[in-house]
């Protein structure tokens, strides 16, 4: 049976993706923080305070009338040069500097080796002489480099940890959840005693699988009770139906007024219909088994009798059945199943047609019943039809038994039921048998 499924909205979000995004965001925030820290530490090395200290040292040296002598043990050293020849104890790189201030970055660009000490230098012009003041910040630079290296190692370790956590989540959480979802999709409604595996290392996933299995157990018990009830009810109803059928046989042998014939005929048709329903309920209440196939039913020979059985529904109306059989078609199904499914289409067409013709056509494996009734809006009718199918299974409604049986029959034999209609133009109902094995045409 063909049923249009409702398209559910797409997934609002994946927990695995959400956690991964949070961890990646945390890693990005950490990277930004460490980069900011490194930038600020570099700014500290290039701080203007070094220029102020060197200017103070230069002024102190100028106030001293004696030749400034470098303080070997101090951080700040001052040399007085008259040419490009380095003073004793003076790094050669400083002797060639022009007047001005040179921070650590400027000196790094002039250094010939990475192993050279790091200086902040202030060169003051004294006419033909220069006063060179330098402060050694090598230990501060080394400490800053060590902090940057430690921060980089810490960042790399955290990024590796984040990637490892994301991979762990995928392996330990995402894939098992996908396995549970795939297992649920692979459950066959026609096969009972199916269960999901519960051997998961994670207790949460194990609880989910056990909960699903418990629900499947309850559904299976409910279906067993439903089948038992249908089976018992069908057997119980057989006795009164047999009594009524016997009474009708007795009445048929009596001499009755002519006006009593139509009611007795309708009673006989109703009893036959109830008998078929009981047979269908008994058949559908049992699980399908791969036993010997049913005897073939020749649908092209069955149709005339079915149309004749429903002829009384057109009494008093200017409506007639029109039969068009373009093929011979045999199906290995119980005859009662075909009678109920096709009879439901004929009955609906007869009850909703008040003038014109009901065309019954068998062609290319499809049985169609087309009436000349008022028709209906297809979308609205589809919603109403699905609502009837849902309500037909609710306890206590007592409505939609025919639709319920047609639905179950179509599901059992993989037939496809279609409804096509236009307002004021009539309705076409079709049963497509091509999905099931067809024996000859």
> Does the pLDDT value for residue 136 go beyond 70?
yes
- Phi/psi at 391 (5° precision): -70, -25
Pairing of strands 426-432, 416-422: antiparallel
> Does the pLDDT value for residue 207 go beyond 60?
yes
Tens digit of each residue's pLDDT (9 = 90 or more) over 424-434: 667 888 899 88
Beta strands in 239-332 (DSSP E): 297-298, 319-325, 330-331
- Quote the pTM value: 0.49
Which pLDDT band, with edges at 50, 70 and 90, does 74 fall under? Answer: low
Higher pLDDT, 342 or 406: 342
Q: What is the DSSP string of 376-417?
A: --HHHHHHHHHHHHHHTTSTT----HHHHHHHHHHHHHT-EE
Which pLDDT band, with edges at 50, 70 and 90, does 397 fall under? Answer: very low
User: SS3 breakdown of the chain: % helix, strand, coil, rounded to 5?
Assistant: 55, 15, 30
Tens digit of each residue's pLDDT (9 = 90 or more) over 211-247: 888 888 888 888 888 878 877 777 788 888 888 888 8
> Does the pLDDT value for residue 114 go beyond 70?
no
> Does the pLDDT value for residue 404 go beyond 60?
yes
CA distances (Å), 46 to each of 38, 379, 386, in order? 13, 76, 78
Tens digit of each residue's pLDDT (9 = 90 or more) over 359-385: 999 988 899 999 886 655 555 555 554
> Does the pLDDT value for residue 396 go beyond 90?
no
């Amino acid at each position: 049976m063909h049923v249009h499924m409702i398209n559910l909205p797409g997934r609002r979000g994946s927990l695995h993706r959400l956690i991964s995004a949070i961890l990646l965001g945390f890693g990005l925030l950490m990277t930004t923080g460490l980069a900011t820290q490194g930038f600020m530490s570099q700014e500290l090395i290039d701080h203007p305070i070094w220029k102020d200290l060197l200017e103070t040292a230069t002024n102190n040296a100028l106030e001293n009338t004696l030749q400034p002598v470098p303080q070997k043990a101090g951080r700040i050293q001052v040399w007085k040069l008259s040419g490009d020849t380095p003073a004793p104890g003076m790094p050669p790189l400083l002797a060639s500097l022009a007047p001005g201030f040179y921070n650590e970055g400027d000196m790094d660009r002039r250094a010939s080796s990475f192993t050279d000490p790091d200086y902040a230098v202030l060169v003051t012009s004294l006419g033909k002489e220069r006063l060179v003041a330098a402060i050694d910040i090598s230990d501060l630079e080394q400490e800053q480099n060590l902090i940057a290296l430690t921060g980089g190692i810490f960042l790399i370790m955290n990024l590796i940890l984040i990637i490892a956590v994301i991979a762990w989540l995928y392996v330990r959480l995402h894939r098992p959840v996908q396995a549970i979802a795939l297992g649920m999709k692979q459950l066959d409604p026609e096969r009972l005693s199916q269960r999901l595996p519960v051997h998961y290392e994670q207790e949460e996933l194990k609880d989910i699988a056990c909960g699903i299995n418990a629900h499947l157990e309850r559904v299976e018990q409910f279906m067993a009770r439903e089948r038992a009830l249908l089976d018992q009810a069908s057997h119980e109803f057989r006795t009164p139906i047999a009594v009524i059928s016997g009474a009708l046989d007795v009445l048929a042998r009596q001499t009755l007024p002519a006006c009593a014939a139509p009611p007795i005929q309708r009673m006989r048709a109703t009893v036959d219909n109830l008998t078929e329903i009981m047979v269908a309920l008994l058949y559908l209440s049992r699980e399908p088994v791969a036993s010997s196939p049913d005897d073939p039913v020749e649908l092209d020979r069955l149709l005339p009798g079915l149309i004749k059985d429903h002829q009384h529904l057109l009494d008093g109306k200017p409506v007639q059945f029109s039969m068009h059989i373009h093929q011979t078609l045999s199906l290995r199904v119980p005859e009662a199943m075909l009678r109920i499914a096709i009879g439901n289409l004929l009955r609906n067409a007869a009850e909703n047609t008040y003038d014109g013709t009901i065309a019954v056509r068998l062609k290319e494996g499809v049985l169609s019943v087309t009436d000349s009734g008022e028709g209906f809006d297809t979308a609205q009718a589809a919603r109403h039809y699905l609502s009837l199918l849902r309500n037909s299974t609710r306890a206590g409604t007592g409505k939609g038994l025919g639709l319920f049986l047609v639905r179950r029959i179509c599901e059992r034999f993989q037939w496809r039921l279609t409804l096509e209609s236009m307002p004021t133009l009539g309705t076409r109902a079709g049963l497509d048998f091509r999905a099931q094995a067809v024996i000859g045409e």
